[in-house]
Amino acid sequence: MPKFLKLSGLVIGSLIVLIGSVVVAIYGLSNGRIHKRYTVNPPAIVVPTDAAALAEGERLVILRGCGGCHGENLGGDVMIDGVPGHIVAPNLTKGKGGIGNTYTDIDWARAIRHGIGKDGRGLWIMPAQDFQTMSDGDTGQIIAYVKSVPPVDTNWGKSSFGLLFRALLVTNQADLIAAEKIDHHATVHAPTPGITVAYGQYLATTCQGCHGPKLAGGPFAGSKAGEPEPANLTPAGELKDWRETDFIATIRTGKMPSGRQLNSAMPWQSFSLMTDVELKALWLYLQSLPPTPTGGK
């Protein structure tokens, strides 16, 4: 065999060993975090049963986008199926394959506000970081509604995490497990609803999942091919020349003051269910933000 072939064989051999060790290291490091069990016992919250509470719970489920991942009928859905892993947003109903029959009210509160499953596992991708500050009242109404939806029979299998997700986790490139970051002992102090900056900030946790922690928009990991990036909502973005009426009209109609129709990647149809008080509070809060360059975290 010519010498250079022998040499390249050696190089390839070493590369394979190196890649192999990296893969083993990634699996080893991620396993601890994937299988970690959390013991959190949140205080009991009231789960109402009256018709008004159920209707408000349905509106909140739409505003919070639960159906975007768990399916419109909350019967679950496969979110990702491919090289990064197989990620299932489970069936939340009382049907076959659903969690509805096994979950107690405390289990619901623990999953929604703490990102922890009934088995104590830190839930993946479930955006509990956006829900952790939700008031007891809102959380109770959401639970009431989810418990009331018609049963759906589905079997999506279990979530599993491939090499790419594990690599993102161990290199802390993405916040995949909300329970790791949430302060599980914090008490929730939700502001009184009203046209205030504080209430606007409370509502804006619904926007941060896409528009970023500082609402400065920019690249978003959840964007599908061809979708625009979430916009910069701070006064450094296009909203700086808007008035309150422009903002409300944009959310209610999906049409911006410039006349451009918003892409459906911005769930304005869901947010059009917001009350005037909610939209005015949000506007006040957006106006109070420091101007931040697009993409600023």
Decide if residue 273 touches ligand HEC (CB under 6 A).
no
What whole-number distance in Å separates Cα of residue 42 and Cα of residue 117?
13
Question: Do 88 and 159 form a contact (C-beta atoms < 8 A)?
Answer: yes
Torsion of CA 141, 206, 221, 293, to 10 degrees: -170
- What x-and-dash track marks residues 25-64 binding ligand HEC by CB under 6 A? ------------------------------------x--x
Question: Do 151 and 93 form a contact (C-beta atoms < 8 A)?
Answer: yes
Decide if residue 152 touches ligand HEC (CB under 6 A).
no
Of the candidates 82, 54, 76, the one whose C-alpha atom is nearest the C-alpha of residue 126 is 76
| Residue selected from 146, 149, 216, 248 as contacting ligand HEC according to rule CB under 6 A | 146
Token pair 């990991």 is found at 221
Question: Do 160 and 85 form a contact (C-beta atoms < 8 A)?
Answer: yes
Decide if residue 228 touches ligand HEC (CB under 6 A).
yes
Decide if residue 199 touches ligand HEC (CB under 6 A).
no
What whole-number distance in Å separates Cα of residue 29 and Cα of residue 270?
39
- Judged by beta carbon, residue 20 or residue 219, the one nearer ligand HEC is 219
Question: Do 99 and 90 form a contact (C-beta atoms < 8 A)?
Answer: yes
**Which stretch, 7-15, 25-33, 188-196, 223-231, contacts ligand HEC (CB under 6 A)?**
223-231
| Residue selected from 26, 62, 109, 126 as contacting ligand HEC according to rule CB under 6 A | 126
How crowded is the C-beta side of 92, counted as CA atoms within 13 Å? Answer: 26
**Which stretch, 6-14, 36-44, 116-124, 185-193, contacts ligand HEC (CB under 6 A)?**
116-124
What whole-number distance in Å separates Cα of residue 43 and Cα of residue 39?
13
Decide if residue 233 touches ligand HEC (CB under 6 A).
yes
- Judged by beta carbon, residue 38 or residue 108, the one nearer ligand HEC is 108
The footprint of ligand HEC (CB under 6 A) covers: 61, 64-66, 68-70, 79, 87, 89-90, 92, 99, 108, 111-112, 117-118, 123-127, 131, 142, 146, 159, 206-207, 209-211, 227-228, 230-231, 233, 237-239, 250, 256, 262-263, 265-267, 271, 282
